């Protein structure tokens, strides 16, 4: 039952705590010596029915760091398992995070309020449960950038400092907590936790809860488990296709980082490509490229197969029939993904009709870009200018443009068969091909300044990324690729 609003505006209705006892450990966040709200997402706060002014007080900072639970909250550490880089860990869980509670937003949607970096829990496995400022601000920035790109994502409600120094890499760093918002934090790994223990009744409860929360129309559908699997496959297919369309590399696609809601979750070692290279890896711990850019669709399929395994008891009483049903759904993922990817690429290429050769046409551009120093974002953005008659726009992106010019000739011939006036086509293309993304060199510069007490570069970058498709005067530097001196960039799971 929803509680009355407190001074901060929280009106909690904590269904996870109420309906899934035994799936978590009730827990209190660590004390924060001097908590402060460094940045509050005021627009999101209002969307959630919260009071931004109250949240930015010292008492609000205590609530947003987990140091003092607000009225109606039921802070808890969620249990889950997961395959991490292919190896299965039967117990992971929220080792540095807490689910503070759930609120209903202005559109009637249930949203988790989740704290990351709020201290040790029973799932911490020897870690300190803390986070530091740089990675917290990185996740804030990335989540808001993805939201502005219209890609499903968790979002930052607040970035808070704790007033505590935290040891990282033999150095002391400023302690921080990220308050983030999600449709839920149900993961493939949540199902794996109970499947690994053979706890079928708990799995059924989890399945019923997931359906009630994310797919209530399936509540009375025969073979609900099959439909849940199918819906989850569809959401993940659409999500990964959108990632690929903007050059996003998640970096740590473990099964505990795949959300049943279809949102992008856990921005650790993620980054966006500059030059197109399908083998792009940023994560310092992904030494074998398991989660490289081009591998993401295949890894999504693999993760979803692990989810299908947990649902086998509910697909059929006959083991062979259950395996057959699950296998058919997983086998269909590749074709589903290719259709979703092609839909993304048709929009990026300005195509409004479908022809058999469109898949090869889209891949042809990527092949032409590979090894040519072509910036992924700017190459696609330049296509609108080509469509308007500036045939040199794409050429400028390439070290050796011969293959690109051959591709461009074929693409222009394809456009001639697509009945849209050039101006309308260019406008539509510029609504899906961003001009501004979180360029790695700009992100690193903003985080470095923030660690030194200067938030201006972070704020400016956040402002630019809020409107990624709209060209803004004086912001040319935010659309340029990294300088040649910015090489061998690596990201870390710093939170």
CA–CA dist 129, 127 (Å, integer): 6
CA angle 395, 397, 402 (to 5 degrees): 40
Question: Are residues 435 and 381 in contact, defined by beta-carbon separation less than 8 angstroms?
Answer: yes
The conformation of residue 19, written as its DSSP 8-state character, comes to: H
For tokens 């989850």, what's the residue?
232
| Candidates 19, 128, 201, 256; catalytic one | 256
CA trace torsion 423, 425, 431, 434 (10° rounding): -90
| Cβ within 8 Å of residue 195, ≥6 positions away | 203, 309, 310
| Cβ within 8 Å of residue 285, ≥6 positions away | 85, 252, 269, 492, 493
Give whole-number Cα distances, 88 to 81, 254, 260, in Å. Answer: 8, 10, 19
Residue 256 appears among annotated catalytic residues = yes
286: left (phi over 0), alpha (psi -120 to 50) or beta: beta
Residues 8, 12, 16, 18: is their CA dihedral positive or negative?
Answer: positive
Q: Which residues are catalytic?
A: 256
């Amino acid at each position: 039952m929803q509680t009355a609003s407190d001074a901060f505006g929280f009106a909690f209705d904590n269904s996870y705590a109420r309906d899934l006892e035994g799936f978590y450990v009730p827990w209190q966040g660590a004390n924060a010596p001097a908590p402060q709200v460094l940045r509050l997402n005021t627009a999101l706060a209002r969307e959630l029915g919260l009071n931004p002014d109250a949240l930015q007080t010292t008492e609000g900072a205590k609530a947003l760091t987990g140091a003092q639970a607000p009225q109606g909250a039921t802070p808890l550490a969620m249990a889950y398992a997961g395959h991490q880089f292919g190896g299965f860990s039967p117990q992971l869980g929220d080792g540095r995070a807490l689910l503070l509670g759930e609120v209903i937003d202005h559109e009637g949607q249930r949203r988790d309020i989740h704290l990351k970096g709020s201290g040790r829990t029973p799932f911490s496995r020897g870690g300190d449960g803390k986070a530091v400022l740089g990675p917290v601000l990185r996740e804030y920035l990335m989540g808001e950038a993805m939201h502005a790109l219209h890609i499903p994502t968790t979002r930052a409600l607040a970035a808070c400092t704790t007033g505590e120094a935290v040891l990282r890499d033999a150095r002391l760093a400023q302690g921080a907590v990220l308050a983030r918002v999600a449709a839920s934090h149900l993961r493939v790994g949540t199902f794996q936790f109970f499947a690994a223990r053979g706890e079928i009744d708990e799995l059924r409860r989890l399945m019923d809860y997931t359906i009630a929360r994310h797919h209530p129309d399936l509540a009375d559908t025969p073979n609900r488990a099959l439909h849940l699997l199918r819906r989850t496959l569809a959401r993940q297919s659409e999500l990964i296709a959108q990632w690929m369309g903007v050059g996003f590399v998640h970096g740590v696609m473990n099964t505990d980082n795949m959300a049943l809601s279809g949102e992008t979750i856990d921005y650790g070692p993620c980054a966006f490509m500059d030059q197109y290279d399908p083998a792009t890896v940023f994560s310092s711990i992904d030494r074998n490229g398991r989660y490289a850019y081009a591998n993401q669709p295949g890894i999504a399929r693999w993760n979803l197969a692990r989810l299908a395994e947990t649902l086998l008891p509910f697909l059929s009483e006959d083991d062979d029939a259950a395996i057959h049903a699950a296998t058919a759904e997983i086998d269909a993922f590749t074709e589903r993904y290719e259709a979703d990817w092609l839909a993304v690429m048709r929009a990026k290429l300005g195509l409004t009709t479908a022809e058999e050769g469109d898949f090869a046409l889209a891949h042809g551009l990527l092949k032409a870009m590979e090894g040519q120093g072509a910036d992924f974002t700017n190459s696609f953005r330049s296509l609108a200018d080509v469509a308007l008659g500036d045939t040199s726009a794409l050429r400028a992106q390439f070290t050796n443009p011969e293959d690109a010019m051959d591709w461009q000739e074929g693409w222009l011939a394809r456009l001639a068969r697509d009945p849209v006036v050039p101006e309308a086509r260019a406008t539509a293309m510029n609504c899906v091909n961003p001009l501004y993304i979180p360029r790695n060199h700009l992100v690193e510069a903003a985080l470095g300044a923030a660690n030194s007490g200067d938030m201006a570069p972070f704020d400016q970058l956040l402002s630019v990324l809020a409107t990624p498709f709209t060209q803004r005067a004086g912001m040319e530097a935010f659309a340029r690729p990294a300088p040649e001196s910015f090489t061998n960039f690596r990201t870390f799971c710093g939170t």
